[in-house]
Amino acid sequence: MDKPSVEKIVIVGGGTAGWLAAASISKLLGDNLQVTLIESDEIGTIGVGEATIPTMLVLHHLLKINEQEFMSAVNGSFKLGISFENWRALNEKYIHSFGLTGKGCWAAGFHHFWLKGKKLGLSDDFGNYCTELMAAKSDRFAISVDNEKLNYAYHFDAGLYAKFMRKIAEESNVKRIQGKIINVTTDETTGFISTLDLQSGEQIQGDLFIDCSGFAGLIIEKALNTKFDDWSEWLPCNRAVAVQTASTSEPAPYTRAIARDAGWQWKIPLQSRVGNGLVYCSRYISDTEAESLLLSKVDGSLLTKPRLIKFRTGQRKLHWNKNCIALGLAAGFVEPLESTSIHMVQKGIIRLLQMFPREGIKAADRNEFNYQMREEFLFIRDFIVLHYHLTERTDTSFWNHCRSMAIPETLRHRLDLFRESGRIFQKDRDLFAENSWAQVMLGQGLMPAHYHPIVNMMTDADLSSFLKDIEGRATRRVTQLPKHKQFIDRYCKAIV
């Protein structure tokens, strides 16, 4: 059933999802809306989620955020990609960078040219043809080089990020209520959420509720019983232990994802500290073992106590149910390997703004929103499963399981296509472009049997100079860049 016009928006939760939603809705659409955010100091936020992908810059641009001020305020560093270490095999590594590798043509991506070069002994490492990747490897960074912007994202302190967004939201008249929600009432006829009861006795009413309550899923699940598609069959990790440490070296312009015996470890370098964590599967390692392993693998003194986080991978069956839209961890979680969660929060926000139900909540809007969110989550799921499944590791039960497990049919098809012919097609709503799939599939050791015949239109000599030119250009551009730390000090030194 349709609901009359939407004026009062209630956001439940003040983590990254809640404050980002509050800032965006109020600043971009808010003049005629009343936006209230409820958060509980007693419950707190998850406190992780510090690596992002380049799409973050799009929403920041819409919000007219000054990058220098922002980066200073959040202890930020720049990110050019992720270094995957020990994933394919122990002591092997590759970088999945945000830059474009080489140059393809209308019929075939660059990796086809590179493959032929490799067969002829003309190609260097695939990454050598990408400026961002080479810059990451040599710890160099600038916003642009040769008047071309690099493709980059941010690392930041999650607590400071929420604070930064809160300031924008409150300046745009978002009302904040601190308190714990203890009861959610739904309308008997429509099933729509009508009132939230706070522990203080206060009652909050709204037209549209945005559930950003984290894994609790207070409204979308506990009140509306939306149900969850569980992906633990393909993504077996279900826990993380996180700790912050003091920096012992200059921040690298990339995240490190280091595969361990039963999961993987992250290292996210900020200006003055490092965010660390171990994501693991509790079937293969106990919480105590995981914590000891993490502590034995971090550098620098501990700034926080290790914190255990339990999670389940998957997504809600509906992201928008009745008059509730779930964002952030309340909507789903594909695990943090490719830093996609905050991106999905942003996608949900932008989609909501595009389909804003000012004149009433309509089933068609809801269906479209759910279809688009679900699709996008599924593509990300496949991309993450790829990293686990395409491994040559046989040294632990966890990796044996990942290597031999059944995978989603959609991913199986992509792998077959690439293995047989090197072909990759980016689908609508697939976050990861051809080049990302190529970097990770090659990085994980999947070599196509053939390259596209269009490559044979080039003579071997032309192919050789084509490859040399691209590699030479990337190398030359990187030498023009300052060291990452030097750039940060000049551009956006943290306000301590």
- Which residues contact ligand FAD by CB under 6 A? 13-18, 38-40, 43-46, 48-52, 158, 180-181, 212-214, 216, 218, 240, 242, 277, 309, 311, 328-330, 336, 339, 341-342, 345
- In eight-state DSSP terms, residue 361 is B
Task: Give residue 165's region: left, alpha or beta (phi > 0; psi -120 to 50).
Answer: alpha
3-state helix, strand, coil in the chain (%, to 5): 40, 20, 40
Kindly state the smallest distance separating residue 39's Cβ from ligand FAD, in Å.
4
Specify the 3-state DSSP secondary structure of 169: helix
CB 149 within 8 A of CB 141: no
The whole-angstrom separation of Cα 378 and Cα 381 is 5
Joined together, the tokens standing for residue 106 give 């209308």
Put the strands of the sheet holding 175-178 in their side by side order.
175-178, 34-39, 8-12, 208-211, 324-326, 320-321
Nearest CB to ligand FAD, comparing residues 340 and 391: 340
Kindly state the smallest distance separating residue 486's Cβ from ligand FAD, in Å.
25
Kindly state the smallest distance separating residue 93's Cβ from ligand FAD, in Å.
19
The whole-angstrom separation of Cα 200 and Cα 181 is 9
Kindly state the smallest distance separating residue 48's Cβ from ligand FAD, in Å.
4
Kindly state the smallest distance separating residue 30's Cβ from ligand FAD, in Å.
20
Nearest CB to ligand FAD, comparing residues 111 and 155: 155
Kindly state the smallest distance separating residue 49's Cβ from ligand FAD, in Å.
2
Kindly state the smallest distance separating residue 444's Cβ from ligand FAD, in Å.
20
Nearest CB to ligand FAD, comparing residues 44 and 453: 44
Nearest CB to ligand FAD, comparing residues 129 and 388: 388
Nearest CB to ligand FAD, comparing residues 345 and 442: 345
Per the DSSP assignment, residues forming a β-bridge with 196 are 184, 204
Kindly state the smallest distance separating residue 198's Cβ from ligand FAD, in Å.
8
Nearest CB to ligand FAD, comparing residues 134 and 274: 274
Residue with tokens 């990110």, as numbered in its chain:
79
Nearest CB to ligand FAD, comparing residues 43 and 417: 43
The whole-angstrom separation of Cα 356 and Cα 482 is 44
Handedness of CA 358, 363, 366, 371 (dihedral sign): negative
CB 108 within 8 A of CB 451: yes
Nearest CB to ligand FAD, comparing residues 243 and 378: 243
Joined together, the tokens standing for residue 430 give 């697939």
Residue with tokens 């140059």, as numbered in its chain:
103
CA 247 to chain centre: 23
